[in-house]
């Protein structure tokens, strides 16, 4: 993690309500890869197993907004 970015692991998953994309999908964000993998192992995306977590190097100001910094 540099001073300008924060490593955030994202998992796309099915959720209640429309979600940001309007298709029922949501994004779960984690600071630790192990937490993200544990979540993904029990989550679904479009009714199938959720994909592995995606590493995103978020700008610090965005990570702060998400409560991740």
Asked whether residue 3 carries a pLDDT value surpassing 80, the answer given is: no
> What's the pLDDT band for 19 if we cut at 50, 70, 90?
confident
CB 45 within 8 A of CB 14: yes
Say what the pLDDT of residue 2 is. 56
What is the domain partition of the chain in residue ranges? Answer: 5-66
Distance CA 2, CA 16 (A): 35
pTM of the entire structure? Answer: 0.88
Asked whether residue 69 carries a pLDDT value surpassing 90, the answer given is: no
């Amino acid at each position: 993690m540099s001073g300008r970015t924060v490593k955030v692991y994202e998992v796309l998953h099915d959720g209640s309500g429309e979600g940001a994309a309007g298709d029922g999908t949501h994004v779960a964000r984690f600071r630790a890869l192990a937490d993200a993998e544990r979540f993904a192992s029990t989550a679904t995306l479009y009714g199938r197993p959720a994909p592995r977590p995606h590493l995103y190097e978020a700008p610090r100001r965005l990570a702060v907004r998400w409560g991740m910094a």
